Amino acid sequence: METPSEAVLLRIYSTESAKWEHKPLYEAIVMRAREQGLAGATVLRGPMGYGKSTHLHTAKILDLSMNLPVVVEIVETEERIKAFLELLDGMLAGGLVTTEKVKVLHYGPRAGA
């Protein structure tokens, strides 16, 4: 393991139905992160959740709603996250965005393995 480095974790909470320019918002965010050369982005789909409206979104079989919660996570340097947030400003019409400082640990193959 290498020495931990400082970074920022950006989380963007949304739903599957949120759109930007006729495509899913989460997809547009990931593509924008890739265009900007950020280290990586991951989309997590939640089987259940609710937000400010307290409307419950669930993946239960009897529920016809496929508007499930999604979270986009990006880990990058603080400067690059700040710059990326400026780009996202026009894309996000609502939802929740959080940041937190994290320590990045890089794991790789063991020496001699």
Domain membership flag for residue 94: yes
Encode pLDDT of 16-64 as tens digits: 989 999 999 999 999 999 999 999 999 999 878 777 777 776 766 555 5
Encode pLDDT of 78-104 as tens digits: 999 999 999 999 899 888 999 999 999
CATH number of 20's domain: 3.30.70.120
CA distance 43 to 30: 8
Domain membership flag for residue 88: yes
* Locus of tokens 């259940």: 48
Domain membership flag for residue 44: yes
- Entry pTM: 0.82
| Structure tokens, 63 | 């529920």
Domain membership flag for residue 51: yes
Number of domains observed in the structure of the chain: 1
Domain membership flag for residue 111: no
User: Burial, 101: exposed, middle or buried (Cβ in 10 Å; 0-12, 13-18, 19+)?
Assistant: exposed
Residue 37, Ramachandran bin (φ over 0: left; ψ between -120 and 50: alpha; else beta): left
Query: Domain containing 55: what range?
Result: 5-104
Domain membership flag for residue 113: no
Domain membership flag for residue 112: no
**In this structure, are residues 89 and 64 in contact, taking their beta carbons and an 8 Å threshold?**
no
The strand pairing partners of 5, in sequence order, are 104
Q: What is the pLDDT of residue 59?
A: 65
